[in-house]
């Protein structure tokens, strides 16, 4: 039997003739030609943009959180890291009354690459007898040190390495555009894997193999340090505290703590500074300052970040039949730091996920979330909405797939993480649009912010990170149950990059 001996039927010339005739005749011909003119000239998304849909989806929200300057991951897959740090910087800024603040994303990027490399080699050591074409080994070997990740990977890094402000470890060319760095790091890791498996076939013990691995990691450290620069073990930090007391998110205790940790840089009295201004000299900024010398990243995290990254849980909404709700899942080979546990997710109905998200924003806390950002997205205007991107009208056909089938057939994979910083509630208290802080810079969306309607949120958001205090009893109990362990290709959501 040859490969062509089957029942497949090819398209023939008569089929094509009939399709063309139907396209060019009848009532649909005019609409097809107008749509083609628009799409060929402007591209599908612009041609499908509905002015009515964008008008209805205003950038106004009943609840908004005041965030810092928009961030930009540039040509890297660090969205999950940016979104995570954006949730924490909001808390830091409002606790310590800072006008603006940004953590160093490159600092965690360094340690993520380093730790993923070690975890990958450990996974290789744990699967030495797996065939290279087995599904398990292919899953382990596919992306040994890619940019993508989840919130819990961020938690692992913060717990081990702490955090630093961007001033202490700024961006490098290889953090802003990571392809070449990741490519050669991956090649080196694959080279080490070949060597480890050869040593195993030659009878080396696991202890001997780990000795090799330890030497290999010195090369990995050098590659990371050359590409990104060595991360600081200690650093100095200075920040100015806002004037006034208009930040309602900071209580009296927080304000007193901020003042206690602040020192004044003023060398003159206010009257003298005022006199300098009247004489045309630059005035002295007399706002209080927070000053730190030789502080470690872990000390900085514990001292200045007013939330514990371990007090959050991962809620998913995956309505596939083989992913029952109120079930706690754990994913094999998913961690980025070898000594930590594998990543876990609790699957809940969308109404539960949605309510937890609303409650958290109403309480004044932003939310990390994962979604398929490619679906019905207008990057220029900053819209996520089926009513704004009318591809059904452009092509004259329906594109609806329910969420369960979209996930099962890989049409709605989570591929991007962002931060929710606002919500609009209708007259019944239900969310009809969400304010989203992206990490694509200020040139996209409305100064870097997007708006998603309620339907889009329900269908394309797969994962949110929620503080435990905003979980109902049933959901909290589910997060504490023994997990159902999944193989690496069975993830409820995909890594975000």
Handedness of CA 493, 494, 495, 496 (dihedral sign): negative
What's the residue count for the chain?
Answer: 497
Alpha helices in 400-494 (DSSP H): 403-408, 454-460, 473-479
CB 176 within 8 A of CB 107: no
Alpha helices in 239-388 (DSSP H): 252-260, 270-278, 297-304, 350-362
Which has the closest alpha carbon to 315: 493, 143, 173, 482? 493
| Half-sphere exposure of residue 331: CA atoms within 13 angstroms, side-chain side | 21
Positions marked active-site = 79, 416, 438
d(CA 45, CA 34): 15
* Inter-CA distances, 430 with 46, 315, 451, Å: 30, 19, 16
Q: And the tokens for 143?
A: 């992306």
Q: How many CB atoms lie within 10 A of CB 404?
A: 15
Position of tokens 């609790």?
346
Which has the closest alpha carbon to 366: 89, 128, 30? 89
CB 458 within 8 A of CB 350: yes
Which has the closest alpha carbon to 420: 465, 372, 470, 377? 465
d(CA 203, CA 36): 65
- Provide the 3-class DSSP secondary structure of residue 437: strand
- Residues forming a β-bridge with 463: 316, 370
Which has the closest alpha carbon to 378: 443, 456, 450? 450
d(CA 161, CA 310): 14
d(CA 227, CA 229): 6
Integer Rg of the chain from CA: 26
d(CA 154, CA 145): 15
């Amino acid at each position: 039997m040859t490969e062509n001996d089957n029942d497949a039927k090819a398209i023939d010339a008569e089929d094509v003739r009939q399709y063309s005739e139907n396209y060019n005749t009848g009532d649909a011909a005019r609409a097809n030609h107008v749509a083609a003119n628009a799409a060929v000239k402007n591209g599908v998304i612009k041609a499908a943009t509905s002015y009515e849909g964008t008008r209805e989806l205003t950038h106004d929200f009943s609840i908004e959180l005041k965030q810092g300057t928009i961030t930009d991951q540039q040509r890297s897959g660090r969205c999950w890291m940016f979104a995570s740090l954006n949730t924490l910087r909001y808390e830091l800024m409002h606790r310590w009354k800072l006008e603006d603040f940004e953590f160093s994303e490159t600092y965690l990027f360094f340690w993520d690459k380093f730790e993923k490399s070690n975890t990958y080699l450990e996974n290789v050591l744990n699967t030495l007898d797996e065939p290279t074409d087995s599904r398990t080994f292919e899953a382990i070997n596919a992306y040994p040190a890619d940019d993508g990740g989840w919130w819990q990977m961020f938690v692992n890094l913060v717990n081990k390495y702490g955090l630093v402000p961007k001033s202490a470890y700024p961006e490098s060319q290889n953090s802003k555009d990571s392809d070449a760095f990741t490519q050669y790091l991956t090649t080196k890791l694959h080279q080490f894997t070949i060597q480890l498996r050869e040593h195993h076939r030659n009878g080396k013990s696991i202890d001997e193999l780990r000795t090799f691995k330890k030497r290999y990691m010195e090369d990995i450290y050098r590659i990371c340090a050359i590409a990104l620069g060595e991360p600081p073990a200690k650093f100095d930090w200075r920040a100015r505290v806002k004037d006034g007391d208009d930040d309602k998110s900071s209580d009296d205790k927080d304000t007193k703590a901020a003042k206690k940790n602040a020192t004044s840089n003023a060398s003159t009295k206010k009257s003298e500074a005022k006199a300098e201004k009247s004489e045309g000299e630059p005035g002295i900024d007399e706002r209080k300052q927070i000053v730190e010398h030789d502080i470690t990243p872990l000390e900085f995290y514990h001292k200045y970040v007013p939330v514990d990254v371990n007090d959050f849980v991962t809620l998913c909404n995956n309505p596939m039949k083989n992913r029952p709700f109120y079930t706690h899942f754990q994913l094999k080979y998913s961690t980025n730091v070898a000594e930590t546990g594998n990543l876990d997710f609790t699957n809940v109905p969308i109404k539960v996920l949605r309510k937890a998200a609303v409650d958290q924003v109403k309480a004044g806390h932003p939310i990390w979330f994962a979604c398929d950002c490619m679906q019905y997205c207008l990057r220029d205007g900053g819209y996520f909405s089926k009513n704004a991107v009318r591809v059904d009208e452009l092509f004259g056909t329906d594109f609806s797939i329910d969420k369960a089938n979209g996930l099962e057939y890989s049409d709605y994979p989570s591929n991007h993480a962002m931060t929710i910083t606002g919500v609009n509630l209708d007259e019944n208290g239900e969310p009809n649009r969400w304010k989203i802080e992206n990490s694509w810079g200020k040139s996209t969306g409305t100064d870097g912010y997007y708006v998603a309607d309620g339907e889009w949120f329900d269908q394309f958001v797969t994962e949110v990170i929620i503080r435990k205090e905003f979980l109902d009893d049933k959901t909290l109990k589910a997060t504490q149950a023994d997990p159902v362990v999944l193989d690496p290709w069975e993830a409820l959501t995909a890594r975000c990059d």
